Amino acid sequence: MRIALVSFAHVHAQSYARVLTELEKDGIAEMCAVYDDDSRRLAFARERFESKKLYSDIEELARDPDIDAAIVTSENTKRAGLAISLLNGGKHVLAEKPISSKVADAVRMVQLASENGLTLGTAFPMRHHDAPQSMKRVLSDLGGIRSISSANPGRFPGLWFADPAASGGGAIMDHTVHVADLARWFSGKEFSEVYALRGRSVAGEGSGEGSGLVLCKLEDDTPVSVDCSWSRLAGWPTWGNVFVSACAEKGAAVLSAFNENLWTVVQGSYKWSYYGPDADKKMILDFVRAVENHSQALATGVDGLRALEVVAAAYESINRRRPVKVSEIQGSG
């Protein structure tokens, strides 16, 4: 399968490029082209991936008959536009999370993929990480879920992530969706209501919305909390973690997904060095197989849309200073 990597704007593109290089060695998939609208990043791609086709016009790439699929790792606000061009060109798409910065655009992406018979996946690597996968199986034997408390604390990613014009928000836009998606996946239930607070960033001036506390209810009123803050300061030994604690009728499960680390001191500074499962690789493999089998990815475009609705409801709640029903923002801008 021939896959294009569309934009190196998002930090995760580096990891996906690494995975594609590995899959190429295994003869499973090939990274055949790179698109970027930033000349410096395109120059970087030219240097690093000498033999690949380079595009700065997405319509040209979308017309390239040698490309089967694309991973879209652009800025959040550009993602839907790029994905729509690709879907119109008949390319399968794996969209970085959040699937888009706007609900209406995500709806359009889902519709277009369906109309054109294409696979649209959302990059929710946590669904492919072994610990949450195991947790989902465990929870299925523990009776109804009573409550979920979750957190995805991380470092301030810098770049464009706190610029609403490029990111569509800040920490809430960036980090709510991973754990919101896990809550939906574990419970099999949809979100119904959201209340949220936003906080200033620890990274100081110009870094915008740096923290968020999002309280959600599932359709059966099960409470779900999400801390999506960029709350790991420089000097913290690792980028962050993904925590989900679920209490159920017959027990509880507590996830700390990125706890498998060496505790190292390298060049005088204390760092955690991760040796846990390679969720990114499993996610891209799943996408490749879905495309090959004309089936759905484990996390679909609809899953991406549902998680984005929580984000949109969170921002609406912050503006209105009250809880907001997910139905209030569905079908809106």
Partner 1 sequence: MERLAVGLIGCGTLSSYAHGPALRKLERMYEFRAIADIDPTTLNAFSKRFGVDRKFTDYKEMISSEDLDIAIVATPTPTHEEIGLYVLNHGVNLFMEKPFALTLEGARNMIEASERQGRALQVGHCVRFWQGYVQIKEQMSNGDYGEPLLAKAHRWGTMPAPLWYRDPAQSNGVGLDVAIHDLDYLRWLIGEPKSVYAQGRFEGKLPMSVQAVLEFEGDAIAYIDASWDFPPSWRFATFFEIIGTKGMAQMDSRESTTLEVYTGHTSSASSPREDDAYTRQLAAFWEPARGGKPVLPATDSIKSLELALALNKSLNGAGRVELKREVVK
Task: Work out whether 322 is an interface residue with partner 1 (CB under 8 A).
Answer: yes
The residue (of 214 and 290) whose beta carbon lies closer to partner 1 is: 214
Beta-bridge partners for 88: none
The residue (of 6 and 326) whose beta carbon lies closer to partner 1 is: 326
Closest distance of CB 134 from partner 1, Å: 18
Task: Work out whether 43 is an interface residue with partner 1 (CB under 8 A).
Answer: no
Task: Work out whether 202 is an interface residue with partner 1 (CB under 8 A).
Answer: yes
Task: Work out whether 252 is an interface residue with partner 1 (CB under 8 A).
Answer: yes
Give the three-class secondary structure for 289.
helix
**Stretch of residues binding partner 1 (CB under 8 A), selected from 51-59, 73-81, 155-163, 242-250:** 242-250
Task: Work out whether 77 is an interface residue with partner 1 (CB under 8 A).
Answer: no
Task: Work out whether 247 is an interface residue with partner 1 (CB under 8 A).
Answer: yes
One of 15, 88, 116, 149 touching partner 1 (CB under 8 A)? 149
Task: Work out whether 198 is an interface residue with partner 1 (CB under 8 A).
Answer: yes
C-beta separation of 294 from 113 below 8 A: no
Closest distance of CB 187 from partner 1, Å: 13
Residue 55's H or E segment, with its range, is strand 53-55
Task: Work out whether 261 is an interface residue with partner 1 (CB under 8 A).
Answer: no
Task: Work out whether 147 is an interface residue with partner 1 (CB under 8 A).
Answer: yes
Taking phi over 0 as left and psi of -120 to 50 as alpha, with beta for the rest, 51 belongs to alpha
DSSP annotation of 266 reads E
Q: DSSP assignment of 185-250, as one string?
A: HHH---EEEEEEEEEE-TT-TT--EEEEEEEEEETT--EEEEE----B-BTBSSSB--EEEEEETT
Alpha-carbon span 104 to 109, nearest angstrom: 9
Task: Work out whether 184 is an interface residue with partner 1 (CB under 8 A).
Answer: no
C-alpha closest to that of 175 among 239, 132, 263? 239
Beta-bridge partners for 214: 196, 226
Task: Work out whether 125 is an interface residue with partner 1 (CB under 8 A).
Answer: no
Q: Which residues 6+ apart lie within 8 Å of 256 measured at CB? A: 241, 242, 243
Alpha-carbon span 231 to 152, nearest angstrom: 9
C-beta separation of 69 from 3 below 8 A: yes
**Stretch of residues binding partner 1 (CB under 8 A), selected from 68-76, 80-88, 211-219, 272-280:** 211-219
**Stretch of residues binding partner 1 (CB under 8 A), selected from 42-50, 71-79, 97-105, 218-226:** 218-226
Task: Work out whether 213 is an interface residue with partner 1 (CB under 8 A).
Answer: yes
Give me the residues that bind partner 1 (CB under 8 A), please. 146-147, 149, 151, 195-202, 204, 210-211, 213, 215, 217, 222-223, 225, 227, 229, 231, 233, 236, 245, 247, 250-252, 321-323
